[in-house]
Amino acid sequence: MSDAARTRRRAIARLVPAVALAASALALPGPTAGATGLVTTRAQEPPGAGIAAADTALEARVRELASGLRCPVCQGLSIEDSPTELAVEMKNIIREQLAAGRFPEEVRQYFVERYGEWVLLQPRASGFNLVVYVLPWVALLAGGAVIVVGVRRWTRQGAGAESASGGETG
Amino acid sequence: MKWSRAIVAVALGLPVVALLARSMGNDPKIIRSPLIGRPAPAFALATLESDVLRTEAGDTVRLEDHLGEVVVLNFWATWCYPCRQEHPALVSVARAYRDRGVRFYGVLYKDDPAAARRWLDELGESYPTVLDPSSRVAIDYGVGAIPETYFIGRDGRVAHKHFGPISVEELKHQIDALLAEPAPAHPAAEVAAGSGSGAE
């Protein structure tokens, strides 16, 4: 009996690093921007914009915000990655609003009020959207539980068969 | 044992099936506009000069001048083929409702005014079109893929957004619904107060 328990413990001990490895390999980054892989041309800089050193910080903030907003006339591109006129104009609006001292969240809200939450490439982690963030972890835990239970059952059966094989057939 | 397994399978599978069924019925290109029921974004835009346009609009069209009227805003361009398709429907309904407090305006979207003038000359009589050179008004309305048509009620709120080319039937259906609503006594005050029956 203690043999069976030892076998089981050994099997589980062997399994634990494997599960951990699988989990880290999956890495579950959460919903990432749908723009990757579709990047084509950079949006043109606004005409006549001789960007001074002081403006580079602003431009970096504009780019960061623009890469999180969906271009309404493209397929899965952010405003930052789209060369269309509308995206360039939306970037101009971002630049104006940031330069006027608005917070990035306020600028994001400005576009959400017009295009809906659809315009955000990364859904907000609130309400129903939480499912997207939580479900992968729930699935991983459930899968892990299934494996642990399954391995326990196999090892118990294996140990049972070993000890049983001495006496009966079956 | 078997029954409990079946119950677990159904309990796990049903939400997935329900979620899929819900999303598969939707056209992913049609996104509910957050503007519905909210005051329509204000604008003051220059009118496109053209012989065939009715010039009563004057040089500038201001949305605020039309409180108390139903306004139909159609975003279009000459490079947009479905816009050409739907144009006769818009013109005929605009004519039919002209005397019933319904205003039609085209908003030229990402296009050359000269090209728009030629296009309208070719197609004949039309309601006024305004110019939105920086697309700021289009962005205010959340325009993505034209043609898009917005219906603004007499209370100054956006009642409906139509994606794609529109038919005579759909135009009449939306306008009749807005005309059937009791006209607000003081539309401007109502919008400012932010109360009032948001038109659906």
**B73 has which bridge partners?**
B105, B150
CB–CB contact A115 B34 (8 Å): yes
The shortest CB-CB distance from A72 to any of B41, B136, B144 is to B144
Contacts of B135 in chain A (CB under 8 A): 85-86, 89
Predicted confidence (pLDDT) at residue B199 exceeds the cutoff of 50: no
pLDDT bracket for residue B5 (50, 70, 90): confident
Cα A104 from Cα A60, distance rounded (Å)? 12
ipTM (interface predicted TM): 0.72
Per residue in B7-17, pLDDT tens? 888 888 888 88
Q: What is the mean pLDDT of residues B174-194?
A: 67
pLDDT tens for each residue of A120-166:
888 777 777 788 888 899 999 999 999 999 999 888 876 666 655 55
Confidence of residue B75 (pLDDT cuts 50, 70, 90): very high
**Local structure of residue A69 (DSSP, 8 states):** B
Paired residues of A78 in beta bridges: A70
The model's pLDDT over A21-69, given as tens digits with 9 standing for 90+, comes to 444 444 444 444 443 333 334 444 455 455 565 678 788 888 888 888 8
pLDDT at site B73: 93
The CA-atom distances, in angstroms, between B98 and each of B44, B88, B92 are 21, 15, 10
Q: Which of A96, A3, A112, A11 is nearest to A55 (CA)?
A: A96
User: Above 70 in pLDDT, residue A5?
Assistant: no
pLDDT at A10: 58
Q: Which residues of A31-51 are buried (b: 16+ CB within 10 A; e: fewer)?
A: eebebeeeeeeebeeeeeeee
Q: Which pLDDT score is estimated for A138?
A: 92
Min distance B96 CA to chain A CA atoms (Å):
31
Two structure tokens written together for B158? 């956006």
Mean pLDDT of chain B: 81
A4-8, long-range: CB < 8 A, 24+ apart: A4/A155, A4/A156, A4/A159, A4/A160, A4/A162, A4/A163, A7/A155, A7/A158, A7/A159, A8/A152, A8/A155, A8/A156, A8/A159
Q: What's the pTM?
A: 0.67
Instruction: List the beta strands (DSSP E) in chain A.
Output: none
The β-bridge partners of B157 are B39
Answer whether the bond into residue A47 is a cis peptide, omega within 30°.
no
Q: What is the pLDDT of residue A160?
A: 64
With beta carbons under 8 A apart, name residues in chain B contacting A153. Answer: none
DSSP codes joined into one string, B19-73: HHHHHHTS-TT----TTTTSBPPP-EEEBPP-SSB-GGG-SEEEGGGGTTSEEEE
CA distance A16 to B27: 44
> Which position has the higher pLDDT, A2 or B184?
B184
- Give the pLDDT confidence score for residue A159 in this predicted structure: 66
State mean pLDDT over B33-46. 86
* C-alpha gyration radius of chain A: 27
| Distance from C-alpha of A76 to C-alpha of A33, rounded to nearest angstrom | 9
Residue A114 has its nearest CB partner, among B32, B34, B134, at B34
**Which residues partner with B162 through β-bridges?**
B149
Distance from CA of A119 to the nearest CA of B (A): 10
Please report the pLDDT score of residue B125 as a whole number.
75
Give pLDDT, residue A146.
Answer: 93
Who has greater pLDDT, A167 or B105? B105
Binary contact (B142, A114; C-beta < 8 A): yes
Q: For the residues B33-56, what does the mean pLDDT come to?
A: 77
For B165-193, what is the mean pLDDT?
75
Chain A, 101-130: which have a CB under 8 Å from a chain B CB?
Answer: 112-116, 118
Residue of B nearest to A93 (CA): B136
Round to whole Å and give the CA distance between B148 and B70: 17
* Better-predicted residue by pLDDT, A11 or B78: B78
Taking a C-beta distance cutoff of 8 angstroms, is the pair B134, B52 a contact?
no
State the pLDDT confidence band at B196, using cuts at 50, 70 and 90.
Answer: very low
Q: What is the pLDDT of residue A148?
A: 94
